[in-house]
Structure 1
Amino acid sequence: MSANTALRHWRDVVLTALAPAIWGSTYIVSSEFLPPDRPFTAALIRVLPAGLLLLLFARRLPARGEWGRLLVLSALNIGLFQALLFVAAFRLPGGLAAVLGATQPLIVMLLAWAVDRLAPSRIAFWAAIAGVAGMAVLLLSPQTVFEPVGMAAALLGAVCMASGVWLSRRWRLSLTVLPLTGWQLVLGGLMLAPVALTVDAPLPALTLTNVLAYAWICLAGALLAYALWFRGVARLPTAAVASLGLLSPLTAVLLGWAFLGQSITGTALIGLIVVLASVFAVQGAMAGKRKER
């Protein structure tokens, strides 16, 4: 790999990594600043307005033959994933949800291996396993509550997101990043709307704090973060993108330490270092595979 190619790769890695770093704030914002027990409403408010804003700016339709694939990607990346994410966030300790979500890189590698016959490098595979183990050391404790519905939601959410990343890279729709992001957010939001309206309780009178929290998860957590994420999906190998998702729970831990007084013990610090090392190892192993299909 030339110096210029390496520089482009790591620039793409850094920009893509901003997305899960922003998503890491979802845990603290949901638990501290949003009305409780309305996961589907939170997901809907997060994605639909952001998608409409992007489409107003981009103003481009998908090709006629791409609507079916776009609907599948919208369901996996947005509709199903966001619903499952907020169910897990409201029902599970953030640590357990994050550990289960950390299986995404492994799922992506297994999909590429089973379907595309692209065997992962040993370094990337074992680094991904180390990432899950490090996340468990960092976030799990003897007091962790293993609530089955929340666990099922977190695992299924990981499968949806991993499948969406893999298919996004495999299908390569003709849309550029902004309209591709906008259409997925809008279609995913429309899938969430009937569930939010029928399952969740109506919103109470919102405080200024509630409004600002919803604005954050919409404008930063969806509009900006998903645009950066799908840009990365188009430019980086799938396993490299998926491994960056581990930065989301790490950000959540650091925010909890900084703003909620949550401690990071010596053992947890070791887990944090292992997760970071896992992310860097996967990025390094994938650096020469930018042209992977």
Structure 2
Amino acid sequence: MARNLDLLTTAIAPAIWGSTYIVTTHLLPQGYPLHVALLRALPAGLLLLLIVRQLPHGAWWLKVLILGALNFSVFWWLLFVTAYRLPGGVAAPVTSIQTLMVIGLARLWLGSPIRPLAVAAAVAGIFGVALIVLTPKAALDPVGVVAGFAAALSMAAGTVLSRRWQPPVSPLTFSAWQLTAGGLLLLPAALAFEPALPPLTGANMAGFLYLGLIGSALTYILWFRGLARLAPSVVSTLGLLSPVMAVLLGWLVAGETLTPIQVFGIAVVLVSVWLSQRAQQAAPPAASAEAAGKAPALSGAPTR
């Protein structure tokens, strides 16, 4: 029962992230990926820091900077580059490859076994996402494709390391540290490589507030909480729910057409998420603990 609650709670994050593409393309100024990533991360991180009033110490300063870079600075920058240069139908399958990357990195860094059922679930999920969003007219931009794969790798590495490096603090505090670190790392890059943002409209402000408070602060608290309790491969597969929600929102809110192929793709994604959970539940007790990323007792210590 507790595990199911953890799964449902964690799944809220990618469900909300499904609205990121429509918010980015309809409410935010176009052509400013670094500034958009910066204004999504830093204000949310500072707000959470004011709430928790706790800073990292010792070795956690470096670990938080690495995690902030992987989960936010690099990932969001490349994600927005991908969103600007590729149609959503191409961007989603490219970035969903991170589900397979997580399985490989979890093997390297956590010693988690590679289970055929988990790999099959990840491949099925990517196929399902392609069915949902890929169209025959989708254009391939080389820079966008490379940025998408790099974004997926950054997210996969951040996901696995966030499970390996578990500080003795709450998910709220862990989120505050990473969001702030990611935003601070983006600040000099945005100032150096992009022109200043134009005057923000009311729609721009609404988009930034939504992505900062709901799409960042709330969702990453839930995401890091899930990573502390579930295997990285299980959590990463939940990320496939994001394009499902994106398509459903387009159908419900924007009046877009939902084709039979898309409905079939949604079903494939849902089955892949279920298979991922089955792969974890079918593991023997010793292997299950290993797959969950349970390192020795020192893994949560500040000196690790």
Normalising by structure 2, what TM-score? 0.90
In structure 2, C-alpha distance between the alignment counterparts of 1:192 and 1:257, rounded to whole Å: 34
The verdict on how the C-alpha distance between 1:290 and 1:101 changes in structure 2, with shifts beyond 3 A counting, is farther
1:151 paired with 2:145, answer yes
Q: Among residues 41, 53, 62, which one is paired with 2:56 in the alignment?
A: 62
2:161 maps to a residue whose letter is: L
From 185, 202, 216, the equivalent of 1:222 is 216
- Match of 1:124? 118
Shift of 1:115: 4.2
The answer to whether the 8 Å contact 1:62/1:175 transfers is no
User: Aligned partner of 1:26: which letter?
Assistant: T
Q: Is 2:46 aligned against 1:52?
A: yes
Match in the other structure for 2:265? 271
1:232 pairs with 2:226? yes
Please say if residues 110 and 164 of structure 2, whose CA atoms lie closer than 8 Å, have aligned partners that are also in contact: no
1:10 correspondence with 2:25: no
* Within-5 A mapping of 1:203-222: 203-222=197-216
Structure 1 segments unaligned to the other structure (5+ residues) = 1-6
Is the contact made by 2:67 and 2:158 (CA closer than 8 Å) also made in structure 1?
yes
Task: Tell me which moved more, 80-89 or 169-178.
Answer: 169-178
The one of 17, 24, 36 aligned to 1:30: 24
The count of corresponding residues between Structure 1 and Structure 2 is 287
1:204 match: secondary structure: coil
1: CA distance between counterparts of 2:198 and 2:112? 50
1:290 Cα deviation from its structure 2 partner = 6.1
Note the residue ranges of structure 2 that are not aligned, 5 or more in a row: 294-304
Match of 2:76 in 1: 82
Go from structure 1 to structure 2 and tell me whether the alpha carbon gap of 1:210 and 1:125 turns closer, same or farther (over 3 Å shift): same
- Structure 2 Cα separation of the partners of residues 224 and 196 of structure 1: 24
1:149-178, CA deviations, whole angstroms, 9 ceiling, x for partnerless residues? Answer: 111111111111111111111122233211
SS in 2 for 1:275: helix
Distance 1:118 1:34 in 2: 40
Structure 2: distance between partners of 1:51 and 1:115:
27
SS at match of 2:56: coil
Q: 1:163 aligns with which of 157, 161, 174?
A: 157
Query: Are the aligned partners of 1:96 and 1:144 in contact in 2 as well (CA < 8 Å)?
Result: yes
**Identity, % of aligned positions:** 45
Give the counterpart of 1:43 among 37, 49, 59. 37
Comparing 50-59 with 110-119, greater Cα deviation is found at 110-119
Cα distance in 1, alignment partners of residues 213 and 245 from structure 2: 18
1:138 counterpart residue number: 132
Q: Which moved more, 1:23-32 or 1:280-289?
A: 280-289
Question: In structure 2, do the counterparts of structure 1 residues 137 and 126 end up closer, same or farther at CA, with 3 Å as the change threshold?
Answer: same
1:104 alignment counterpart: 98
Deviations, residues 204-242 of structure 1 (Å, cap 9, x unaligned)? 222222211110000001110111111111111110110
Rounded Cα–Cα distance in structure 1 between residues aligned with 2:7 and 2:289: 11
User: Structure 1 CA distance, aligned partners of 2:165 and 2:217?
Assistant: 22
Matching residue's letter, 1:276: L
Assess if the C-alpha contact under 8 Å between 1:131 and 1:279 holds in 2.
Answer: yes
Q: CA deviation at 1:200?
A: 2.7
Question: Which residue in 2 is equivalent to 1:178?
Answer: 172
